[in-house]
Amino acid sequence: MSDTDRGNRLLPVENLRDDIVGIDTVVPVLDGTERRYVFLDNAASTPTFRRVLYWIEEFLPWYSGVHRGTGFKSLLATDAFDRVHDVVGRFVGADLSTSCVVFVRNTTEAINKLSNRFPFAPGDVVITTVMEHHSNDLPWRRYATTVHVGITDDGQLDLGALRRNLAQYKGRVKLVAVSGASNITGLCSPIHDIAEWVHAAGALLFVDAAQLAPHRPITMLDDADPRHIDFLALSAHKMYAPFGTGVLIGPKAFFEQGDPDVVGGGVVDVVTLDKAFWNHPPLKEEAGSPNVVGGIALAAAISVLQGVGMENIQAHEHALLEYCMKRLKGVRGITLYGPTDTLQGKVGVIPFNVDGMHHALVAAIMSTEGAIGVRDGCFCAHPYVKQLLRVTSEQDAQLAGRILAGDKADIPGMVRASLGCYNNEEDVDRLVHMVERIAHREYRGKYVQDTATGAFHPEGFRVHYGRYFSLFEDGEVSLPRGYAESS
Ligand SMILES: Cc1ncc(COP(=O)(O)O)c(C=O)c1O
């Protein structure tokens, strides 16, 4: 059912804020007070939907191992876990008659699985891009000649270069691996156009949807459509369900061929002392006891996202991105990376630097004085970040030498603010206000850099985390309260 078909059954996007665990959390700041925490690091991991917790709690009394038990709880849990696969497949518009949804731990594991399982032959080529997260680059390098398509001056994927590479390597290119949205600039690739070019070149398309799935509707399309996506991966912890699952989706026929990459319990139908006969996928690909609770959590999060409607989430986040960029463009003394005017093809990831200041110092001040959670560095996409920063290859080689010698003082990087579906203008105002203060050097603390890590720490600011999280109240793991009292 499309979001519009759901009509007035949709939950208003504004209500999502009430559904976020920890939305009102306060944290200590440098002046000795506590402030409401503004979380703007959703590209790394999102907070949890309350309704995810609700469904996990409802499920836990029924929790049991799946696929092998005969008791009622095991049957119920198996039924639920099997359904979860279909929920995810439908969420990304996969054709469930031909596709298979495989549960793994995260996108990284999904891509590694695909690379382990892909029947590469010597000389085969994978085309990927310099924009990729390392997880969509390093696995390919182990098995195939990996070609990296470059970017344009403003950080967009060079589609002309992609097409030239497809022509140049036609016959040898077996797979093209692109991100649906970048974790650095939020730029989205035209995945269906790319699919058409890739299929015409006789190759298959993998889309890393880790940053796309939480923000935009996805339709993998049916296999007969030349614009369909062959393989796709996503992570639940970026979709408001941080309980250790991710998914790889691809053709059933693909997973039927060859041996599974991880073997053991669950993947086999029959085992003799010298032979093993594999189960059908997805069982064949989910070795060992699966993360059933993580799967339930992902399905519950999808239910919330669909309850609001991915089109509505996209529109809300886009309006917030426009607002944020407009305000940040008015701040003097900062550099924004990637396109700043045409934002249509971008999810809410905003990379910037404060001129003349180390990115790690800016991020430390944001946290310590502004109670704002952002991230800094190269975000597991070193080649892309360094190209955006115009680091030359000589500088890169020198930096690498210093970093490998243990000195990260000058490690290149950016600050990244990233929006989720529950953020609002007040969150953006807090961000912009803090960026302005930092750009005007109106911060109060004295920060010292640890050159071994590159991180900055405020002098004299000590926090006792045990005050906020009681499991480690005294540094050691605590006894449950009742136990401690009676002992
Ligand atoms: C675009 C992209 N791909 C892959 C990953 C890896 O995801 P995970 O850490 O969940 O394996 C990330 C994580 O930030 C990402 O942003």
**Cα 317–Cα 336–Cα 450 angle in degrees, nearest 5:** 105
Q: How far is the CA of 117 from the centre of ligand 1 (A)?
A: 20
Q: How many CA atoms lie within 13 A of 235 on its CB side?
A: 20
* Ligand 1 atom at minimum distance from 181 CA: 1
Q: How far is the CA of 181 from the centre of ligand 1 (A)?
A: 11
DSSP conformational letter for 40: -
Per-residue pLDDT of the chain (487 residues; tens, 9 = 90+): 444 444 456 899 999 999 999 999 999 999 999 999 999 999 999 999 999 999 999 999 999 999 988 999 999 999 999 999 999 999 999 999 999 999 999 999 999 999 999 999 999 999 999 999 999 999 999 999 999 999 999 999 999 999 999 999 999 999 999 999 999 999 999 999 999 999 999 999 999 999 999 999 999 999 999 999 999 999 999 999 999 999 999 999 999 999 999 999 999 999 999 999 999 999 999 999 999 999 999 999 999 999 999 999 999 999 999 999 999 999 999 999 999 999 999 999 999 999 999 999 999 999 999 999 999 999 999 999 999 999 999 999 999 999 999 999 999 999 999 999 999 999 999 999 999 999 999 999 999 999 999 999 999 999 999 999 999 988 889 888 878 555 4
pLDDT given for residue 486 in this prediction: 54
Which residues line ligand 1 at a C-beta cut-off of 6 Å?
A: 106-108, 133, 135-136, 179, 183, 208, 210-211, 235, 246
In the numeric block, which tokens belong to residue 295? 């799967």
Three-state secondary structure call for residue 93: coil
In 198-258, DSSP assigns E strands to 204-208, 231-235, 246-251
The answer to whether 132 and 178 are in contact (CB under 8 A) is: yes
Spot the catalytic one: 100, 188, 380, 421: 380
In one letter, which amino acid is 315? A
* Ligand 1 atom at minimum distance from 238 CA: 10
DSSP conformational letter for 209: -
Which residue's alpha carbon is at the smallest distance from atom 7 of ligand 1?
107
* Ligand 1 atom at minimum distance from 380 CA: 14
Which residue's alpha carbon is at the smallest distance from atom 12 of ligand 1?
210
Q: At what angle do helices 292-308 and 72-91 cross, to 10 degrees?
A: 40
pLDDT given for residue 122 in this prediction: 97
pLDDT given for residue 7 in this prediction: 47
Q: Which of 42, 112, 133, 188 to mutate to test the pocket of ligand 1 (most atoms within 8 A of CB)?
A: 133
Q: How far is the CA of 182 from the centre of ligand 1 (A)?
A: 10
* Ligand 1 atom at minimum distance from 379 CA: 14
Contacts of 398 (CB under 8 A, 6+ apart): none
Q: How far is the CA of 433 from the centre of ligand 1 (A)?
A: 29
pLDDT given for residue 482 in this prediction: 79
pLDDT given for residue 3 in this prediction: 46
pLDDT given for residue 10 in this prediction: 84
Q: Has this prediction a pTM greater than 0.85?
A: yes
In the numeric block, which tokens belong to residue 269? 């139908």
In the numeric block, which tokens belong to residue 444? 């109060």
Three-state secondary structure call for residue 156: coil
d(CA 334, CA 352): 7
Q: How far is the CA of 435 from the centre of ligand 1 (A)?
A: 26
Is 380 among the catalytic positions?
Answer: yes
Q: How far is the CA of 38 from the centre of ligand 1 (A)?
A: 22
* Ligand 1 atom at minimum distance from 135 CA: 4
